[in-house]
Amino acid sequence: MRSFYNDERVIKTKKLIKTALSELIQEKGFDHVSITDLTQRANINRGTFYLHYQDKYDLLEKFENEVLDDINTNAENFIKSIKDIDFLGEDFSNEIKPFINKVFTYIKENYIIMKVILGPKSDMRFQNKIKKALNILLTEKGWDNYFDSQNTFVSKNYFISYLVSAHIGVIRQWIDSGMNESAENMAEMISKMFFLGPFNSIKNK
């Protein structure tokens, strides 16, 4: 029983720290947040903070990893649900929209921390993590076979780099513009740009 309550207390403490980080980022920006700010806002002592995190950058990285884990879990569930659908087929373009919608909804619900992770001052660390996760996902699904063909002009690494960079660029624009469009509209927009190409996607709705 003691272990259960200790686990519950750790979960509660980490949630308080994350909430404090999100609030403080909104108030003063990540660069100006100190450990003292975090501990005072979360109503914990410094020793408790350092029990879980080395510094605020370690806290942010663990936050990033949790975001990536959440997205990966949704992606894996999506992949399982369409395991027999052709990656390049029309059915795939229809089936992927709800998943993309979930991703945009998740980003909107976690707006403050996502703005830090994907903001103009963020580094390439999170983007590289997404590239690595996508590479693993394509391999596990067997979709990397498409890139093994001699008839394929674009290699897998370039495809992943383009896919991730383009999509994160759209997400950053959405965040920077105040997320005026709904998650559903963003999912529709990004699906069309992906499957029709950027130029064909602007021809008609």
Instruction: Read off the pLDDT of residues 128-178 as tens digits, 9 standing for 90 and up.
Output: 888 887 777 766 666 666 666 556 677 777 888 888 888 888 988 998 888
Task: Work out the average pLDDT over 107-121.
Answer: 80
The rounded mean pLDDT for the chain is 81
Contact 110, 67 (CB under 8 A): yes
Q: Per residue in 164-191, pLDDT tens?
A: 888 888 988 998 888 999 999 999 898 8
Name which residue leads in pLDDT, 82 or 25.
25
The CB density around residue 45, as the number of other CB atoms within 10 Å, is 11
Q: Domain 1-53: which topology?
A: Arc Repressor Mutant, subunit A (1.10.10)
Per-residue three-class SS string for the chain: CHHHHHHHHHHHHHHHHHHHHHHHHHHHCHHHCCHHHHHHHHCCCHHHHHHHCCCHHHHHHHHHHHHHHHHHHHHHHHHHHCCCCCCCCHHHHHHHHHHHHHHHHHHHHCHHHHHHHCCCCCCCHHHHHHHHHHHHHHHHHCCCHHHHCCCCCCCHHHHHHHHHHHHHHHHHHHHHCCCCCCHHHHHHHHHHHHHHCCCHHHCCC
Give the model's confidence band at 28: pLDDT under 50 very low, under 70 low, under 90 confident, else very high: confident
Q: What is the pTM of this model?
A: 0.74
Q: Per residue in 83-104, pLDDT tens?
A: 665 555 566 667 778 888 888 9
Region class of 167: left (phi > 0), else alpha (psi between -120 and 50), else beta? alpha
Cα distances (angstroms) measured from residue 145 to each of 63, 89, 117, 123, 150: 33, 15, 32, 31, 11
Predicted local distance difference test score (pLDDT) of residue 17: 94
Q: Is the model's pLDDT at 37 over the cut of 90?
A: yes
Predicted local distance difference test score (pLDDT) of residue 70: 86
